C-alpha cells in the first residue's frame, strides 16, 4: 500500500547496489529509532538478512550484549526486530552523559575514557575508522544494514567531524531518508530546511521523506506532500499514523506523556489499583526498567520530579543513574529524599535499581564517578557501596521469590558487605541485592521483564502498601507485549510506506539528478 501522493518509481538510477540505508531525523525523538525497528521487522519478515546500525548513540539507556559489551537500548530493540541477538557491532560508539559537559565513551562495548564536547571532536577521526570498518563487516555479512542517524543531520556547526549522519552516508554511499514528527508542528519547514542547509554532495544522498505521528485524514496532507515534492524534487515515502500502542522502550523518560504517565494503564483484575511513582532523576539511566510494570493491568506508573507526587503512591521506585552521587544530592535539594525516607519508614514499599539501589544504602564511597569520596545515603537499607574504576558488565541469572530470573548489570558501584537477605539468589545460593521488609534493591536491570518475578514483586509491594484488593494479572507476558509492538512497527511500514521505492533505494542507492536546494551548507 502506498502513502498518499507518492509515486512508485524514481528516475533512472546509476549507483551501485547499496544494501544499506540511513534514517536521519529533523531532530532528536523524531522517530528514527522506531522507524529503523519497523524497517528491520518488515525486511526480516520477507526473509531478508537485515541488521541495525547506529554509529554513535548518546544515551544512558543501554543493555549488556551476549558478546560482553554495552550498547544503546534502542539498538537492542532493533536487533530483536531483525530477529538477532544484540551485538556491540550494532552500536560501535556509545556516549553516556554523566554531567552537563562530559560523557563516558564506550567503544565496541567497552569504556575507553571520558570526554568533553570539545575534546571529543578531536577523537572522532580515530573513532570513525572503527565505525566504518564495523559497518563494512556488517554489510559483508547481511543483505541489508539499516542505519540510524543521531539528532539532526543539519547540525552545521558539527558537520566537519560528523560520523553518524551525512558523514557516515557519504563515506559509505548510503541513501538517506529524513523523518519528521508532525506532532511537533512545522514538519514541512523542518523537512525542507534539513535538506536546504546541507552541502550539494550531502543533498545528493537525501532520497525522500517520512512524516511521523500523523493524526487525522491523510487526504488533508496531500497538497502539502505535492508541494514539498515540487519544492525539493523528493517525495514523501510514507505518512505513519500516531499510534497509542507505541510507547515501549522510549529513548529517554521525557518521551512519556506530559503528566509522566507510562504506557496505557489497563483496568485492574482485582478491586484495587497499585500506584507506582518512579523518580525521574536528572541523569536517569535505564528508566525503561519500569515499563514492564506499566504492562500490568491495574498498575499505574508515573514519573515524578517533586515530593507532593509521592503522597498517594503505593510503591516508590528509584531507577538507575549515570551520576549516582549528583542525583542523590538533587533528591536532597528538592525534598524528594525526605519524602522517600518518610515513605519507607512508614512501612510502605520502596525499590531501588542500580544507582537507585546505591542511594538507598547508608553510605557511598565514590572516588571515580563523581570524586566526592564518602557520601551518606538515604539509610533505608543497611548496606554500603564503594565505586570501582572498572565498570561491571554482566548478564546473570538467578531466582526471585523462588522464580527463575535473568537480568543485566552495568555499574561501577559495588556492595561492600553483601547482606544475607538478597532480593535475588544466584544459582550457587549467593544472595544479590537486598530485601529488608518493605525496602528492596538490586543492581539488575531488566529484572522486571521476567513475568513470574515481576508478579511476585507486585504482590510484595501490594502487601506492604495495604492494597489487599490488588491482584496481578496471571497471563501478562512482557515478551509478547514487546513482540506485538515490533510487529505493529513492521505493519506500519508495510501499510503506510512506499515499499517499492524502499526496495529500490536498498538495491540501487539514491537516484541521480536530485535537485540542490539553496542556500546549501554555509
How is residue 52 annotated by DSSP?
A: E
Nearest residue to 169 (alpha-carbon basis) of 488, 414, 510 = 510
How is residue 96 annotated by DSSP?
A: E
Q: Given the residues 326, 343, 443, 445, select the one marked as catalytic.
A: 445
- Supply 485's cell numbers: 509492538
Nearest residue to 426 (alpha-carbon basis) of 418, 414, 417 = 418
354 a catalytic residue: yes
Strand-pair category, 110-116 with 144-148? unpaired
Cβ(198)–Cβ(520) under 8 Å?
yes
- Supply 402's cell numbers: 523462588
Cβ(232)–Cβ(192) under 8 Å?
yes
**Side-by-side strand order, sheet with 315-318:** 299-304, 274-279, 315-318, 350-353, 439-442, 434-436
- Supply 27's cell numbers: 531532530
Q: Given the residues 354, 411, 443, 496, select the one marked as catalytic.
A: 354
Cβ(191)–Cβ(225) under 8 Å?
no
505's enclosing H/E stretch is: helix 499-508
Residue 151, sorted as left (phi over 0), alpha (psi -120 to 50) or beta, turns out to be left
Q: Helix, strand or coil for residue 73? A: helix
CA 159 to chain centre: 24
Backbone angles phi, psi at 92, to 5 degrees: -65, -30
Tell me the C-alpha distance between 427 and 409, whole Å.
Answer: 16
464 a catalytic residue: no
Q: List, in order, residues 6 or more apart from 481 with CB less than 8 Å away.
A: 248, 295
Q: List, in order, residues 6 or more apart from 317 with CB less than 8 Å away.
A: 276, 277, 278, 279, 290, 293, 350, 351, 352, 353, 356
HEC readout, 406-446 = ECEEEEEEEECCCCCCCCEECCCCCEECEEECCEEEECCEC
By the 10 Å C-beta count (0-12 exposed, 13-18 middle, 19+ buried), 144 is classed as: buried
Taken as a whole, the chain contains a residue count of 522
Tell me the C-alpha distance between 371 and 376, whole Å.
Answer: 14
Question: What are the helix (H) ranges across 314-378?
Answer: 324-333, 336-345, 355-359
Q: Which residues are catalytic?
A: 354, 445
Amino acid at each position: 500500500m502506498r502513502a498518499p501522493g507518492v509515486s512508485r518509481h524514481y528516475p533512472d538510477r546509476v549507483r551501485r547496489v547499496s544494501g544499506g540505508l540511513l534514517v536521519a531525523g529533523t531532530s532528536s525523538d523524531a522517530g528514527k529509532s522506531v522507524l529503523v525497528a519497523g524497517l528491520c521487522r518488515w525486511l526480516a519478515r520477507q526473509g531478508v538478512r537485515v541488521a541495525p546500525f547506529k554509529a554513535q548513540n548518546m544515551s544512558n539507556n543501554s543493555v549488556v550484549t551476549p558478546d560482553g559489551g554495552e550498547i544503546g537500548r534502542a539498538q537492542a530493540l532493533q536487533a530483536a526486530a531483525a530477529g538477532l541477538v544484540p551485538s556491540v557491532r550494532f552500536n560501535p560508539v556509545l556516549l553516556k552523559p554523566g554531567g552537563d559537559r562530559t560523557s563516558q565513551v564506550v567503544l565496541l562495548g567497552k569504556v575507553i575514557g571520558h570526554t568533553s564536547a570539545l575534546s571529543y571532536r578531536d577523537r572522532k577521526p580515530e573513532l570513525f575508522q572503527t565505525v566504518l570498518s564495523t559497518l563494512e563487516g556488517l554489510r559483508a555479512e547481511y543483505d541489508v544494514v539499516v542505519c540510524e542517524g543521531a539528532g539532526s543531520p543539519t547540525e552545521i556547526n558539527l558537520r566537519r567531524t560528523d560520523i553518524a549522519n551525512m558523514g557516515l552516508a557519504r563515506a559509505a554511499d548510503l541513501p538517506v531518508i529524513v523523518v519528521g514528527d508532525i506532532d511537533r508542528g512545522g514538519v514541512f519547514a523542518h523537512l525542507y530546511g534539513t535538506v536546504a542547509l546541507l552541502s550539494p554532495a550531502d543533498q545528493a544522498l537525501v532520497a525522500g521523506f517520512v512524516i511521523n505521528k500523523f493524526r487525522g485524514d491523510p487526504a488533508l496532507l496531500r497538497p502539502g506532500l505535492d508541494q514539498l515534492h515540487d519544492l525539493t524534487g523528493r517525495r514523501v515515502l510514507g505518512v505513519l499514523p500516531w499510534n497509542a500502542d507505541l510507547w515501549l522502550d522510549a529513548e529517554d523518560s521525557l518521551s512519556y506523556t506530559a503528566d509522566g504517565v507510562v504506557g496505557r494503564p489497563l483496568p485492574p483484575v482485582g478491586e484495587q489499583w497499585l500506584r507506582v511513582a518512579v523518580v525521574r532523576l536528572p541523569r536517569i539511566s535505564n528508566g525503561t526498567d519500569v515499563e514492564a510494570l506499566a504492562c500490568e493491568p491495574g498498575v499505574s506508573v508515573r514519573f515524578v520530579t517533586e515530593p507532593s507526587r509521592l503522597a498517594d503512591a503505593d510503591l516508590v521506585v528509584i531507577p538507575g543513574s549515570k551520576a549516582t552521587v549528583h542525583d542523590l544530592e538533587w533528591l536532597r535539594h528538592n525534598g524528594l529524599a525526605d519524602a522517600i525516607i518518610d515513605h519507607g519508614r512508614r512501612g510502605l514499599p520502596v525499590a531501588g535499581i542500580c544507582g537507585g539501589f546505591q542511594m538507598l544504602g547508608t553510605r557511598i564511597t565514590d572516588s571515580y564517578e563523581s570524586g566526592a569520596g564518602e557520601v551518606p545515603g538515604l539509610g533505608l537499607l543497611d548496606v554500603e557501596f564503594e565505586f570501582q574504576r572498572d565498570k561491571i558488565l554482566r548478564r546473570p541469572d538467578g531466582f526471585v521469590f523462588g522464580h527463575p530470573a535473568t537480568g543485566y548489570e552495568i555499574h561501577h558501584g559495588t556492595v561492600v558487605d553483601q547482606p544475607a537477605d538478597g532480593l535475588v539468589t544466584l544459582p550457587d545460593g549467593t544472595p544479590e541485592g537486598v530485601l529488608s521488609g518493605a525496602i528492596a534493591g538490586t543492581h539488575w536491570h531488566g529484572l522486571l521483564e521476567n513475568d513470574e518475578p515481576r508478579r511476585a514483586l507486585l504482590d510484595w509491594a501490594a502487601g506492604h502498601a495495604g492494597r489487599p484488593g490488588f491482584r496481578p494479572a496471571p497471563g501478562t507476558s512482557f515478551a509478547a507485549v514487546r513482540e506485538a509492538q515490533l510487529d505493529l512497527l513492521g505493519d506500519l511500514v508495510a501499510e503506510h510506506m512506499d515499499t517499492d521505492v524502499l526496495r529500490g533505494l536498498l538495491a540501487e542507492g539514491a537516484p541521480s539528478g536530485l535537485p540542490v536546494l539553496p542556500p546549501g551548507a554555509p
